[in-house]
Structure 1
Amino acid sequence: MNQTNYQLIDFLEFDPGFQQDEFLWKACFPTSIEERDGKIVVTIPFQRQLQAVDIQPDLDMPRKSYDLVISAYGEKILKLSIGFEKALTEESEMLQLDPQLVANPLTYEIITDQWIIKDQSEITRAIFDFSQPKIDYWSNLLPEPHETLKLSVFPDGKKEIKVSAFDQFFPARNDAMALAFVEKDGQPVRATFSLEANPDEVFVGTGERFSKMDLSGKTFQLKNQDGQGVNSRRTYKNIPFYLSSEGYGLFLHTSAYSKFSLADHSTRSAQLLVEYPELDVFLIGGDEPAEIIRGYQQLTGFPNMPPLWSFGIWMSRMTYFSADEVQTICDRLREEKYPCDVIHLDTGWFVTDWLCEWKFNPERFSDPASFISKLKADGYRVSLWQMPYIAKEALQHDEAVANNYIGPLLESREQGGSNFSALDYAGTIDFTYPKAVDWYKGLLKELLEMGVVCIKTDFGEEIHMDAQYHDMDPKLLNNLYALLYQKAAYEITEEVAGEGIVWARAGWAGCQRYPLHWGGDAACSWDGMAGSLKGGLHLGLSGFGFWSHDVPGFHGVPDFMNSVISDELYVRWTQFGVFSSHIRYHGTSKREPYEYPNIANTVRNWWDLRYALIPYILQEGEKATHTGMPVLRALIFHHQDDRQCWHIDDLYYFGDDFLVAPVMNDRGIRDVYLPEGDWVNFFTGEEQMGGKWLKGFKTELHDMPVWVRKGASIPYYPNRVNCTDDMDLSKTIKLEINQSFKGIWKVLNIQ
């Protein structure tokens, strides 16, 4: 074990032997304050510490001072920024400020032992405290408390959040730093900032986290990588934002590798560390989680609304290899009355499987435009897989190298074969270079002009770190890459196809603007299903309004490509998909429902239900574009005062009115928590009062534990369709959840 339990070494990543030229500099009492253009600038001196696990000031070294800039946006967002010999980042691709979010000028006043910062409404937004601790002196066994920064912030003008000033055992043994930076070889290289954490405080968010709902007691590395499933600490979508049960959110505005330690290294503190000599932190207040997340979206952008057809069924597997194969599958789905809107072609539409060249195989897809047009006439849209890496064997390789469209590698090395890794290819498309962006858009434009409607922007969570990029260091680009990549694909799709959409795996702050995102390569197992849901709930708590997952999981276990999927898993995951914002079947083996004859009719019924619910899903999707509410929601969105709901990660709200409890075992039994309210079972019509657990709730395979709010009015489509092209939404009617409601199967006349 390498853990030392010294904060300096374990969290701040110092060399345990102190053999490197690294020093910690801690913030001390501020020395000056002034107002500049509505912002407050506070000069903070930093004292270098001795190189030891006992953190003590090196009084022989002069202090260094840096300016902490405090600014306010609207009435509920406060920004703290400090650059350690780096110019502060004012704009970035991550930010897309809502025009309604205007700067709120700040002023200050100085009173005894305090600097008080107020906004133009005279509401206190921050306080610097200079008071001395109360001392009853009787011993000199240990030194006096060290000088430190004492700061309270009030993002919404009401809730006080304190910087973690005295998280210590004795003054030289610290478990968190209020504000500090690390200097290496004479240059600042990383920075840390901490807030006090309460004993029962809960943290959620941080991206697509495959963890329990309560993230307290965990430390997360905010570094995108191939998650290789949905059951590890790796994840495709790290988002530098968390939400606290104490009524605030924190957005660390950076693309640098970072860490959040949420009451873990110390249960008294929520800490962040960024591998860059700058801190740019937004603190967002609000009365409820949706308001806080909406504040985050006001900074980084709101989700756009996906097109109508995207809410239908997507059919795929890894992979289809020819136009004839695809046509046969599409024809059979129609013949057997399975409604479907999208057919997705994964890695096999190229000349060589996995060799991405953005060109159809001319032998197996002899006339792609005609092929796509014929499918469209039958109500099918075509989605295509591709990746942002160029292989040496690709048609575009020489052109890309000659024009620096891919970041040139700093050292020559051999290219390996595909094993799902970014580093198997010759280079990464450089989306920091405008000419490379235009070139990539041109590759997609040819496909979109044929009639393709969606590009699967797969991978993107990793890049070649041994390459030189046009406008960014690889360590800053790696996390941000997903945003630049998806933005380019989304923009050209919207321009050519008329509707913006991507199908994306990686993510970072701002990616929510370009829906939609799916959960990656889940195992075809009950734990794969459970991990997927955990990831989706946390992603919804990180600003993403739309999210999907592969039904019924992506890869087999233990045989990655060939393990047989059980009928129970296929149906239960289908049910989970029906009650997700989007539903796509995909994976390493057969996924078409008619390949599972014992349950084929059951699956058809669930697909019909999905299409009946599309008017409701559209309604809730529209809310996701401006309210902070995702379509698939953790219970805390509606029950923040119910402490149990901060710990539940296996059931969720689907929009405002549905409470969904997926069955994740082959016994059809689970415990269900019904929160406060009057509920009606969606499949039986049975009424149930909330505020209690239903232990050992049993449901047959053709049903699912789903409840609807009593008194809800659910828009639904009453007629069976082949695809969304058949829908005339003016014929939508309302399903009233009252005493006459006896279950949805009776309404739809499904046996």
Structure 2
Amino acid sequence: MKRTNYQLIDFLDFDPAFKGDEFLWKCGEPLAVREEQGDAVIEIPFQRQKAQNDLEPDTDCPVQMAKLRIRAYGDKILRVAFGFENAELPGSEILHFHTDVQQKTLKVIEDTDCWKIQTADGQLKASINRKAFQLDYWSDLLPAASKGLELVLYPDAEKEIRISAYDQFFPARHDAFALAYVEKEGETRCTTLSFHCEADECFAGTGERFTKMDLAGQTFQLKNQDGQGVNNRRTYKNVPFLLSSRKYGVFMHTSAYSKFSIADHSSRSVQLMSEEPVLDLFFLGGDTPEEILYNYRCLTGFPTKLPLWSFGTWMSRMTYFSEEEVNEICRRLRAEDFPCDVIHLDTGWFRTDWLCEWKFNPERFPDPKRFIKNLREDGYKVSLWQMPYIAREAEQCEEALQNKYMCILEQSEKQGGSNFSALDYAGTIDFTYPKAVEWYKGLLKELLDMGVLCIKTDFGEDIHMQAKYHGMEPEKLNNLYGLLYQKAAYEVTKEITGDGIVWARAGWAGCQRYPLHWGGDSACSWDGLAGSLKGGLHIGLSGFGFWSHDVPGFHSVPDFMNSVVPDDLYVRWTQFGVFSSHLRYHGTSKREPYEYPAIAGIVRKWLKLRYAILPYLVEQSDKTTQTGYPVLRALIFHHANDKMCWHIDDQYYFGDDMMVAPVMNSANKRDVYLPEGEWVNLFSGGQLTGGKWLKNFDCPLDEMPVWVKAGAKITVYPEPVSNTDEMDFARTEKLVFDQTYSGLGNSILANLLKVQK
């Protein structure tokens, strides 16, 4: 549909000719407020509007009454729910309340000019203006304005979030609606709520967004789909959560297709829309982004602790095809002194490439248990690829169809997304059906019992839509599917191995409980590197704690499978991986560092640095499981009051103390912003005072712009290892960044990090 720049059509998806049987129902001034089971319930009238762009009440249609329920949790969480008749607000797989999330009783204070809603201890949580308009009447050229919903929310009893009662040109032409719903053919098609934003307000979050840091001025459709890269609007991980520079957050509890218009359709409003008849919103207060994200995790769950080996190097490509090939790669990595912990087998370990049957090819992997055991003895853990779609040629297809373990197709539908095979998928495993979940867990259990330690839960952002599922309609399941899928794999992995871990691509609110996730199919290019980092920053601002990416990008350019990866890109992306929560080489062609002889020595140095800083990374990871911090953090986590940091999407904090600025060009230069504070260059030891830009900072290929907070004490492992099995954390030391620090080459890690040609 061509854009019209009118809100009804472009945001609420009305037919531009208004020929459909659909109508807008717009809220009016609240008529009553009352206390009900600890909540405040507001009675609001809705008047149907005529089917046209300029609003005009359809007075032939009776007014409809609806409830807006407000509930307080603790001191900084306010829940606003519309369209629910019962006091018991809905739960779902998305919500995972922390024990600290306790309802607080609300009281209503009514007077002539204002209704106030506050807690028993006097915290103001909401107010409704009842004053009449102040007018200086001189013209009846236009109809008089009618009172709307003048509601102000105070999630932390301080910051105001004002519902957008009058975002309009004249009374008939609105650019946003405070609260409204759309009726189509007698059913509610969608609901919308808008709140005021300031002219200079910045926003971040909404999932793994491959765009600039400040999201103001954009509209996003929250519909998971195969991103097919990291440089477009499509994304694998949408999260209906938004963080504001005014230090509040908004979480929309839903799995329905939704939209966020962030100072876009109207520069005065943030508009939320969900394709369902209800709205369930949480407004979150806090003094810092971390505190707001902590409150969000208190609602949807915290990332869980990951095993030490997962922080080592993962080696993969698409794909390894035999035991002999894997053994030779693992042998060479050890012989040439590239530390590595995980060998990942992608699409080729089955009898036919991409034909996922959860069984090793008996000719190419004749004794998988022995194969895995031998690798384990050499310090390698095995990760396996699979997918949630069952091909018609798969051994399990008939069983799954007969037992309804996968969806029942209502009509022939070819699975979309980046399917690089010629296979036709008969259906999607139905994780809304408990028996299907147990069946799927049984398939994975056989592999985990062999010694496999991690399952790559690939795909999941697309499902068969022309199909029936046991638990919900596909339109509601699509976004939620990744969570159900990853939960099943995570639970059985933890049950068998003791470690809860998956390697996942799709995502929605709550998926952070089942780490870890990676950024999908990025291009092997500087653009792919930049897009990946943007995605990592936004997903970290959306509740996820552990996130990775394919080094040095997934697919080649311009030949998808065969273009050569440039040496400098390989090195620079390796550096980014070293300073990410997890480091995995993967892609459509050779990824092993010895295949790049001109820069193999530099890569070896960087992998050794990775293992040297693992103790620090483990400390930061533990913090991630208990706070609102991710491992890879946008600068605003630590400099929320620095307006510059709300616009920087190519630098980040790695934990508490390290600030990283990846080089993303072949010129070996970049501009670097040093926020306020005292900083020490990791490589040179040079010390600088922040609050300024370093223009055209020159950085040779074997180094990286990394600054450490002055005075920081970084826990390191000063001895060479080939894998984490060889590490004894009782032998760690502190690398102190004070006046005595004179550079990495003169530190306790000097001998460990010498470049070997």
Task: Answer yes or no: is 1:110 the counterpart of 2:85.
Answer: no
* 3-state SS of 1:284 partner: strand
* 3-state SS of 2:409 partner: coil
Task: Answer yes or no: is 1:608 the counterpart of 2:601.
Answer: no
Query: Which residue identity is paired with 2:380?
Result: Y
Map 1:155-554 onto structure 2 (within 5 A). Answer: 155-412=155-412, 419-420=419-420, 424-554=424-554
| Cα deviation, residue 90, structure 1 | 1.4
Question: After superposition, what is the alpha-carbon deviation per residue over 1:246-294, rounded to whole angstroms, capped at 9, x for unaligned?
Answer: 1110000000000000000000000011000000000000001000011
Pick closer, same or farther for the CA change 1:417–1:154 going to 2, 3 Å. closer
* 3-state SS of 1:164 partner: coil
CA contact (8 A) 1:293 1:628 kept: yes
Measured in 2, the distance between the counterparts of 1:416 and 1:602 equals 40
CA contact (8 A) 2:309 2:724 kept: yes
| Cα deviation, residue 356, structure 1 | 0.3
Name the counterpart of 1:692. Answer: 692
Task: Answer yes or no: is 1:710 the counterpart of 2:726.
Answer: no
Measured in 2, the distance between the counterparts of 1:417 and 1:500 equals 28
| Cα deviation, residue 30, structure 1 | 1.3
Map 1:722-733 onto structure 2 (within 5 A). Answer: 722-733=722-733
CA contact (8 A) 1:85 1:277 kept: no
CA contact (8 A) 1:86 1:278 kept: no
Measured in 1, the distance between the counterparts of 2:338 and 2:139 equals 81
Query: Which residue identity is paired with 1:31?
Result: L
CA contact (8 A) 1:422 1:464 kept: no
Query: Which residue identity is paired with 1:214?
Result: D
Measured in 1, the distance between the counterparts of 2:745 and 2:339 equals 17
Measured in 2, the distance between the counterparts of 1:197 and 1:578 equals 38
Query: Which residue identity is paired with 2:59?
Result: L
CA contact (8 A) 2:27 2:178 kept: yes
Name the counterpart of 1:624. Answer: 624
| Cα deviation, residue 186, structure 1 | 1.4
Query: Which residue identity is paired with 2:83?
Result: G
Measured in 1, the distance between the counterparts of 2:2 and 2:137 equals 39
Name the counterpart of 1:72. Answer: 72
* 3-state SS of 2:209 partner: coil
Pick closer, same or farther for the CA change 1:413–1:71 going to 2, 3 Å. closer
Pick closer, same or farther for the CA change 1:414–1:70 going to 2, 3 Å. closer
Map 1:43-58 onto structure 2 (within 5 A). Answer: 43-58=43-58
| Cα deviation, residue 188, structure 1 | 1.3
Pick closer, same or farther for the CA change 1:468–1:600 going to 2, 3 Å. same
Query: Which residue identity is paired with 2:36?
Result: R
| Cα deviation, residue 132, structure 1 | 2.0
Measured in 2, the distance between the counterparts of 1:575 and 1:374 equals 30
Query: Which residue identity is paired with 1:315?
Result: M
For structure 2, the residue ranges without an aligned partner over 5 or more in a row are none
| Cα deviation, residue 211, structure 1 | 0.4
Pick closer, same or farther for the CA change 1:36–1:414 going to 2, 3 Å. closer
State which drifts further: 407-416 or 665-674: 407-416
Measured in 1, the distance between the counterparts of 2:416 and 2:447 equals 28
* 3-state SS of 1:591 partner: coil
* 3-state SS of 1:383 partner: strand
Percent identity (aligned): 65
State which drifts further: 576-585 or 6-15: 6-15
Name the counterpart of 2:11. Answer: 11
Query: Which residue identity is paired with 1:385?
Result: W
Measured in 2, the distance between the counterparts of 1:230 and 1:610 equals 25
Measured in 2, the distance between the counterparts of 1:166 and 1:33 equals 21
Map 1:533-612 onto structure 2 (within 5 A). Answer: 533-612=533-612
* 3-state SS of 1:347 partner: coil
Measured in 1, the distance between the counterparts of 2:661 and 2:20 equals 53
Query: Which residue identity is paired with 2:696?
Result: G
| Cα deviation, residue 41, structure 1 | 1.3
CA contact (8 A) 1:545 1:631 kept: yes
| Cα deviation, residue 25, structure 1 | 0.4
Query: Which residue identity is paired with 1:636?
Result: I
| Cα deviation, residue 575, structure 1 | 0.3
Measured in 1, the distance between the counterparts of 2:149 and 2:94 equals 29
Name the counterpart of 1:642. Answer: 642
State which drifts further: 169-178 or 107-116: 107-116
Query: Which residue identity is paired with 1:142?
Result: L
CA contact (8 A) 1:432 1:470 kept: yes
Measured in 2, the distance between the counterparts of 1:142 and 1:616 equals 66
Question: After superposition, what is the alpha-carbon deviation per residue over 1:550-578, rounded to whole angstroms, capped at 9, x for unaligned?
Answer: 00000000000000011100000000000
CA contact (8 A) 2:106 2:120 kept: yes
Let me know the Cα RMSD of the aligned residues.
1.4
Measured in 2, the distance between the counterparts of 1:314 and 1:381 equals 9
* 3-state SS of 2:468 partner: coil
Question: After superposition, what is the alpha-carbon deviation per residue over 1:458-492, rounded to whole angstroms, capped at 9, x for unaligned?
Answer: 00001000110001000000000000000000000
Query: Which residue identity is paired with 1:559?
Result: D
* 3-state SS of 1:374 partner: helix
Pick closer, same or farther for the CA change 1:202–1:422 going to 2, 3 Å. farther
Question: After superposition, what is the alpha-carbon deviation per residue over 1:304-349, rounded to whole angstroms, capped at 9, x for unaligned?
Answer: 0111100000000000000000000001100111100000000000
CA contact (8 A) 1:427 1:464 kept: yes
Pick closer, same or farther for the CA change 1:164–1:242 going to 2, 3 Å. same
State which drifts further: 142-151 or 344-353: 142-151
Measured in 2, the distance between the counterparts of 1:216 and 1:671 equals 24
Question: After superposition, what is the alpha-carbon deviation per residue over 1:503-546, rounded to whole angstroms, capped at 9, x for unaligned?
Answer: 00000000000000000000000000000000000000000011
Question: After superposition, what is the alpha-carbon deviation per residue over 1:698-749, rounded to whole angstroms, capped at 9, x for unaligned?
Answer: 0100000000001000000010101000000111111111122122233222
Measured in 1, the distance between the counterparts of 2:88 and 2:303 equals 27
CA contact (8 A) 2:228 2:417 kept: no
Measured in 2, the distance between the counterparts of 1:620 and 1:414 equals 43
* 3-state SS of 1:485 partner: helix
Pick closer, same or farther for the CA change 1:735–1:42 going to 2, 3 Å. same
| Cα deviation, residue 412, structure 1 | 4.1
Aligned positions, number: 751
Q: Which 4+ residue blocks in structure 1 deviate beyond 6 angstroms? A: 84-88, 414-418
Measured in 1, the distance between the counterparts of 2:508 and 2:733 equals 39
Measured in 2, the distance between the counterparts of 1:327 and 1:276 equals 52
Query: Which residue identity is paired with 1:222?
Result: L
* 3-state SS of 2:200 partner: coil
Task: Answer yes or no: is 1:2 the counterpart of 2:6.
Answer: no
Question: After superposition, what is the alpha-carbon deviation per residue over 1:608-638, rounded to whole angstroms, capped at 9, x for unaligned?
Answer: 0000000000000111111101110000000
CA contact (8 A) 2:441 2:489 kept: yes
Pick closer, same or farther for the CA change 1:559–1:87 going to 2, 3 Å. farther
Measured in 2, the distance between the counterparts of 1:508 and 1:563 equals 33
Q: Could you tell me the TM-score, scaled by structure 1's length?
A: 0.99
